[in-house]
Structure 1
Amino acid sequence: FTLQKETPLANAVFWAARKGNLALLQLLLNSGRVDADCRDSYGTTALMVASYSGHYDCVKELIMQGADINYQRETGSTALFFASQQGHHDIVKLLFEFGASTEFQTKDGGTALTVASQYGRSKVVDILLKNGANVHDQLNDGATSLFLAAQEGHVTVIRQLLSSGAKVNQPREDGTAPLWMAAQLGHSEVVKVLLLRGADRDADRQDGTTALFKAALKGHHSVIEELLKFSPSLGLLKNGSTVLHAAVLSGNLQAVLLLLGANADPMLPNKVNIDYMDLKDRMRKKKHLNRLLFSYILHTFYLPF
């Protein structure tokens, strides 16, 4: 928090809420000289600060003193949002007991559930879902709670969301599906769970790339292995290339071998008729390509050079 204090007393209330100094907070609130809903110029309240900082007793005191639980600061965040973000599940429960709502959104479309999912707060996610949070909440760019959890590699949260009806293939507005994002970032366990729960292995983005293409390009071997179990496309993609081309371009020997072992066609030319052998000549000139790559393949798979 960057607090813009308005008065010395408000400053003291914020300090007590942030530090968890219940005695000082009570003294200030009971003095009658400062309101429980005092706020800074951004609309930040002491309840938000205490919720963010994880001070249960201070949160309860502020609520008992009449603090507005669902007040939104300038960004749209509420006390529930901050408690969820930080994983303070006991405070999340307390806020619900006194009427907190899951429906408030931040300016970018974020809710308590989206932020808890993004940060992997599984206990909080469970409480939010049990208290009516919408599993289909989306940020302004279309990212769902499931997408955010997949992006960050939070397997437990992903299982919770899927069990509550989250759509496994719901993409962002740019066409990026949770599986694609998890594959690109190397989250193999997430990829495994999503595939087992029905993720489209060949779903592509607007640029025509699939999850396997990105995994091959990035050299994420464990992700490639998981995807290959579900027989993804090894032929030409909408981007005019193949996953084997991607692996060669990355200069990653193990990725190439995994794809060849899955019967990827090494002689298949891409859309502009640059085949595997032409790529070999081009990539050999690049320093990052392991020179052993093609000689190893030659002796293992008897490819003509």
Structure 2
Amino acid sequence: MSFNFLHFYDLFLLRLKEWSKETPLANAVFWAARKGNLAVLQLLLNSGRVDVDCKDNTGTTALMVASYSGHTDCVRELILQGADINLQRETGSTSLFFAAQQGNNDIVKLLFEYGASTEFQTKEGGTALSAACQYGHSTVVETLLKNGANVHDELHDGATPLFLAAQEGHITIVRQLLASGARVNQPRVDGTAPLWMAAQMGHSEVVKILLLRGADRDADRKDGSTPLFKAAYKGHNDVIEELLKFSPSLGLLKNGSTALHAAVLGGNVRSVVLLLEAGADVTLRNKDNETAADLTKNERILRVLRTKGARKNN
């Protein structure tokens, strides 16, 4: 394979203002790792004039760049040339973290073959597993779990891999994590549990799975709202139907409202109907002494409420 070094040199000189690496040759290594140009990468590393673990001003290495970009051959070359697999950039991210985040499972496997660790965390407490769960890479999740990733990892705000998967609606990953022993009711620091978050986001299949695995249907946040309350306010009727199968509380919550109040405030006629059919009480008053009927001017909702005997205060 022929190679015009002068042409290549012109290319990476154009990047000097964008990148801040150790030397122009280091810039070239990063360029090759990002583009997946194995020939250039080998040429530069074999020259002996550039450190395989050269870093930019954030501590990012060429191995991290290749792992993020999905270039398996470049990752292998960097490893064989002596790259430190477990180096962390300033944020705490490692090559394994980047590969997992991007769903590059072949690279994840390769990194494990050469000693990658699942224990490193970012400054926010993120791990390779939490990244894969958040971004929906179920194959990577499987590989990570087989190689010792901790299903109970937590971000500093208390979010677990299960929480992140539930939040994003990644059904397969939710099942994987529960099968691996994830705690279904483990909340974040603010009291938000996976079920609450899935309900708010409208992920009815995730809600169903969590409920079947024992999620607390009435688990509330510090503000007193429950999964049913949030689903009702958002108008996520499929979620409401799943929750109602498990007989959640329809009465007043700690915040002084009910799910019916929430549905009315959200303007969701179908949600109102579902809750009334489940036995919601139209006479219950919130902390401001208002019934559900007092909270709306929507004539369709008022008609539905009046079929159950509701009356406005004025």
TM-score range, shorter chain: over 0.9
Give the structure-1-normalised TM-score. 0.94
Query: How many Å apart are 1:296 and its aligned residue?
Result: 4.3
Inter-CA distance 171–153: structure 2 relative to 1 (3 Å threshold): same
Please list, as runs of the form range in 1=range in 2, the aligned pairs for 1:235-246 lying within 5 A after superposition. Answer: 235-246=251-262
| Equivalent of residue 210 in structure 1, options 205, 209, 226 | 226
Query: How many Å apart are 1:214 and its aligned residue?
Result: 0.6
Q: Which residue of the partner structure matches residue 160 of structure 2?
A: 144
Deviations 1:232-264 (A, max 9, x none): 000111111111111111111000000001011
Distance 2:185 2:105 in 1: 29
User: For the Cα contact (< 8 Å) 2:225–2:254, is it kept in 1?
Assistant: yes
Deviations 1:49-102 (A, max 9, x none): 000000000000000000000000111000000000000000000000000000
Gap runs ≥5 in structure 1? none
SS in structure 1 at match of 2:119: coil
User: For the Cα contact (< 8 Å) 2:85–2:115, is it kept in 1?
Assistant: yes
User: For the Cα contact (< 8 Å) 2:184–2:214, is it kept in 1?
Assistant: yes
Query: How many Å apart are 1:275 and its aligned residue?
Result: 1.8
Give the structure-2-normalised TM-score. 0.91
User: For the Cα contact (< 8 Å) 1:4–1:42, is it kept in 2?
Assistant: no
Distance 1:234 1:208 in 2: 13
Q: Which residue of the partner structure matches residue 109 of structure 1?
A: 125
Deviations 1:151-183 (A, max 9, x none): 111111110011000000000001000111111
Q: Which residue of the partner structure matches residue 4 of structure 2?
A: none
Query: How many Å apart are 1:269 and its aligned residue?
Result: 1.8
Q: Which residue of the partner structure matches residue 119 of structure 1?
A: 135
Query: How many Å apart are 1:17 and its aligned residue?
Result: 0.3
User: For the Cα contact (< 8 Å) 2:64–2:98, is it kept in 1?
Assistant: yes
Query: How many Å apart are 1:302 and its aligned residue?
Result: 6.1
Query: How many Å apart are 1:270 and its aligned residue?
Result: 2.2
Query: How many Å apart are 1:274 and its aligned residue?
Result: 1.4
User: For the Cα contact (< 8 Å) 1:208–1:239, is it kept in 2?
Assistant: yes
Q: Which residue of the partner structure matches residue 94 of structure 1?
A: 110
| Equivalent of residue 295 in structure 1, options 300, 303, 306 | 303
Please list, as runs of the form range in 1=range in 2, the aligned pairs for 1:129-208 lying within 5 A after superposition. Answer: 129-208=145-224
SS in structure 2 at match of 1:204: coil
Distance 1:59 1:77 in 2: 16
Please list, as runs of the form range in 1=range in 2, the aligned pairs for 1:5-84 lying within 5 A after superposition. Answer: 5-84=21-100
Amino acid at match of 2:301: L
SS in structure 2 at match of 1:267: coil
Deviations 1:113-153 (A, max 9, x none): 01111001100000000000010000011100100111111
User: For the Cα contact (< 8 Å) 1:146–1:166, is it kept in 2?
Assistant: yes
Gap runs ≥5 in structure 2? 1-17
Distance 1:86 1:275 in 2: 49
SS in structure 1 at match of 2:238: helix
Deviations 1:23-54 (A, max 9, x none): 01000011111111111111110000000000
Q: List structure 1 segments (4+ residues) > 6 angstroms apart after TM superposition.
A: none
Amino acid at match of 1:174: D
Query: How many Å apart are 1:187 and its aligned residue?
Result: 0.9
Query: How many Å apart are 1:4 and its aligned residue?
Result: 2.4
* RMSD over equivalenced CA pairs, Å: 1.3
